[in-house]
């Protein structure tokens, strides 16, 4: 069984693969098979010599994960539970953001738009009290190859053409910035033109607020988008929801965000999980405006998605709208995220938890 750090063919950038393989032109051929043809085995690679395929199969496996379960929502969202080579499991979600549109003559005038939410770790160290992923604790980081394979498996499973790009959000299981080295390398591999060709501007990292690593990420200047899981406007509540807030409080996070290089055409996203009776008041909205003053920000309100055993409740729609309107009326752009997959195991970690408990 593969362990953390075991190399996979998906771990390599094209230049790294050229340095590894001789003759180097084989690297581009293999890249084509992996990312344009979605080859799931070396046997499918018809123009690769048999002895090289056997060597690659032994050293750099392709099958780093397999689809264990999936749930399909009526809104087109699909939640995947992947089984890794060491029998651990992680989740990823395909979100259908816009459906294909045809005119009266049946000609396609707009193609589908997809976003894929990928995981970064098996488990999580952060311990958010509203998140099921925290129940199992932290097990290990995902490798670069395991990041990449989530997208490849989903595109293959849904027959999404190779030339059809998707958006990536690093906001599945785990804290991406706690897997800093592999996460940043995955960003670069995803963006390879000869590979999946997912522009860095189409990649967004969501962090629970590891302030020191937000600054470090800013120094890398990768060109990706930043989202902050804020969820509260005072430290007492945020420390209840996200215990890590005791190490990196709200002001520390805001200071780090102010230093982060942001594309002038983009905004820093602040995710605000709304929980009934906890953070849905107009007083909280007023504090949020003051907190984000001077930041090119956008607030995304998210309905809390209840799961069995939680003490938190989903907010009222009217309260969400009131909160949103209060921010927008005062110049802070705010939207309510459309709930996706509400009829399936939508909460992060929920499908994994169901599988662990033998539920269907």
User: Residue ranges for the binding site for [4Fe-4S] cluster?
Assistant: 124, 128, 131
In this structure, what token pair is assigned to residue 308? 């069995």
Active site residue 91: yes
Q: Which is catalytic among the residues 71, 334, 348, 353? A: 348
Which residues are CB-neighbours of 42 under 8 A, at least 6 positions away?
A: 48, 53, 54, 56, 57, 62
The three-class DSSP label of residue 276 is coil
Dist CA 151 CA 128 (whole Å): 26
Dist CA 29 CA 206 (whole Å): 34
Residue 195 main-chain phi, psi, to 5 deg: -105, -125
Q: Which is catalytic among the residues 91, 146, 271, 353? A: 91
What is the bridge-based pairing of β-strands 225-229 and 203-207?
Answer: parallel
Which among 83, 109, 86 is positioned nearest to 98, based on CA atoms? Answer: 109
Which residues sit in the known binding site?
124, 128, 131, 174-175, 206, 229-231, 305
Residue-wise DSSP of 128-146 = -TT-GGGGG-EEEEPPHHH
**DSSP secondary structure letter of residue 290:** H
Dist CA 200 CA 48 (whole Å): 30
Which residues sit in the known binding site for S-adenosyl-L-methionine?
174-175, 206, 229-231, 305
Catalytic residues: 91, 348
């Amino acid at each position: 069984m593969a362990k953390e750090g075991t190399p996979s063919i998906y771990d390599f950038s094209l230049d790294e693969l050229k340095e590894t393989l001789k003759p180097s032109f084989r690297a581009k051929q293999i890249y084509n098979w992996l990312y344009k043809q979605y080859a799931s085995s070396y046997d499918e690679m018809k123009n690769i010599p048999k002895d090289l395929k056997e060597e690659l199969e032994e050293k750099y496996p392709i099958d780093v994960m397999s689809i264990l379960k999936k749930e399909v929502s009526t809104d087109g969202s699909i939640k995947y539970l992947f089984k890794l080579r060491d029998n651990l499991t992680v989740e990823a979600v395909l979100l259908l953001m816009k459906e294909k549109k045809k005119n009266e003559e049946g000609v396609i005038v707009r193609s589908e738009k997809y976003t894929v939410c990928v995981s970064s770790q098996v488990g999580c160290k952060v311990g958010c009290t509203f998140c099921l992923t925290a129940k199992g604790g932290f097990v290990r980081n995902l490798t670069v190859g395991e990041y990449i394979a989530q997208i490849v498996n989903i595109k293959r499973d849904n027959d999404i053409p190779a030339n059809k790009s998707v958006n990536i959000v690093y906001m599945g299981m785990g804290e991406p910035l706690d897997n800093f080295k592999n996460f940043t390398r995955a960003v670069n591999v995803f963006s390879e033109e000869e590979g999946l060709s997912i522009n860095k501007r189409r990649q967004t990292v969501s962090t629970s607020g590891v302030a020191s690593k937000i600054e470090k990420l800013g120094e890398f200047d990768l060109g990706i988008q930043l989202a902050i899981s804020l969820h509260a406007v005072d430290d007492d509540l945020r420390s209840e929801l996200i215990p890590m807030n005791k190490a990196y409080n709200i002001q520390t996070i805001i200071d780090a965000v102010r230093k982060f290089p942001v594309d002038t055409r983009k905004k820093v996203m602040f995710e605000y999980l709304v929980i009934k009776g906890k953070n849905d008041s107009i007083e909280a909205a007023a504090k949020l405006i003051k907190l984000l003053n001077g930041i090119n920000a956008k607030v995304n309100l998210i309905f809390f998605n209840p799961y069995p055993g939680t003490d938190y409740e989903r907010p009222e729609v009217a309260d969400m709208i009131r909160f949103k309107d209060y921010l927008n009326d005062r110049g802070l752009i705010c939207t309510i995220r459309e709930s996706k997959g509400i009829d399936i195991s939508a909460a992060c970690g929920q499908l994994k938890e169901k599988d662990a408990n033998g539920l269907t």
